[in-house]
Amino acid sequence: MLNHCRVVLVEPRIAGNVGATARIMHNMGLTELVLVAPEVDPGDPRARQQSTQGEGVLDQARVVADFSDAVAECVLVAGTAARTGGLFRRQSLGTPEEIMPHLAKVLAADDPVALVFGPEPRGLTNADVTRCHYVIHIPTEPAYPVLNLAQAVAICLYELHQAWEKQQSTKAPEHEPLASFAAQDRMFAHLRTALEEIHFLYGSKADSLMHALRHLLGRANLTDMEVDVLLGLARLIRWYVEQNSVSKRL
């Protein structure tokens, strides 16, 4: 269902933007708003003034401490970025029209997804971007590429609604349930440790290589079984390294 898409605002600072986000969510049939370490209260009168019939979304908004808490149960996470280029922002990059069908396909199977928007002054950090399966860039005039937060939310949710309507006109094939963000995150942590121990991840290029691996595997829509297979691979690598170290000491 479309309302299985949650909107995540990271460190929002302007109450009016939170209220306007609630309004467009109500317009497009979404109900779950999550605020990560917000600097404003969703109950702020300025937020409620801008919400216009979206007060229910504000009333139910969840406040969490960090990015992981906001998306833990989601199987697909798409973040937005005004800045592009560089390793962390060029992979899995697309416009809202290009990315939203991926979310709609997952939503058709009743799996939860997240659309993540960064703080008003700077947007998402590279650390946040690298944990997203897809990065959404809204094309604008290069002279002034930064959109207001609520405007970006409106454009993305409109395109999601369009993709959802198109998805509903075709029968979605059944598939295995996808692994949650939390399960994938644990797997990536174990995989990183294993790859560090065999020096595949080493030195100044370690972060960029791990970022590339996350996006390569993240686009595969991993199931719980596939995540378990990769966890097993990571454990076997670590076991082999340990056994090899022991044999050298003997």
Reported as a single tens digit per residue, the pLDDT across 104-115 is 999 988 899 999
pLDDT of residue 3: 87
Beta carbons within 10 angstroms of residue 245's beta carbon: 10
Reported as a single tens digit per residue, the pLDDT across 153-206 is 999 999 999 999 998 877 555 667 889 989 999 999 999 999 999 999 988 888
pLDDT of residue 21: 97
Query: Which residue type occupies 233?
Result: L
Q: What angle do CA 147, 149, 151 make, to 5 degrees?
A: 65
Query: How far apart (Å, rounded) are the C-alpha atoms in residues 97 and 103?
Result: 11
Orientation of helix 149-168 relative to helix 96-107, angle to 10°:
50
pLDDT at 85 exceeding the cut of 60: no
Burial zone of 24 (CB within 10 Å; 0-12 exposed, 13-18 middle, 19+ buried): buried
Query: How far apart (Å, rounded) are the C-alpha atoms in residues 171 and 108?
Result: 9
- Assigned token pair, 137: 């860039």
- Assigned token pair, 113: 């997804």
Query: How far apart (Å, rounded) are the C-alpha atoms in residues 8 and 70?
Result: 7
pLDDT of residue 173: 57
Q: Which domains does the chain have, with CATH numbers?
A: 2-168 (3.40.1280.10), 181-249 (1.10.8)
83 falls in which pLDDT band (50, 70, 90)?
Answer: low
Q: Which residue from 238, 195, 228 is spatially nearest to 213, judged by alpha carbons? A: 195
pLDDT at 91 exceeding the cut of 70: no
Q: Which residue from 1, 45, 53, 11 is spatially nearest to 168, judged by alpha carbons? A: 1
- Assigned token pair, 177: 């349930």
Query: How far apart (Å, rounded) are the C-alpha atoms in residues 240 and 236?
Result: 6
Reported as a single tens digit per residue, the pLDDT across 33-69 is 999 999 999 999 999 999 999 999 999 999 999 999 9
pLDDT of residue 96: 95
Query: What pTM does this model have?
Result: 0.75
Query: How far apart (Å, rounded) are the C-alpha atoms in residues 181 and 217?
Result: 12
249 falls in which pLDDT band (50, 70, 90)?
Answer: low
Q: Where are the beta strands (DSSP E) in 71-189?
A: 76-80, 93-94, 113-117, 134-136
pLDDT of residue 250: 57
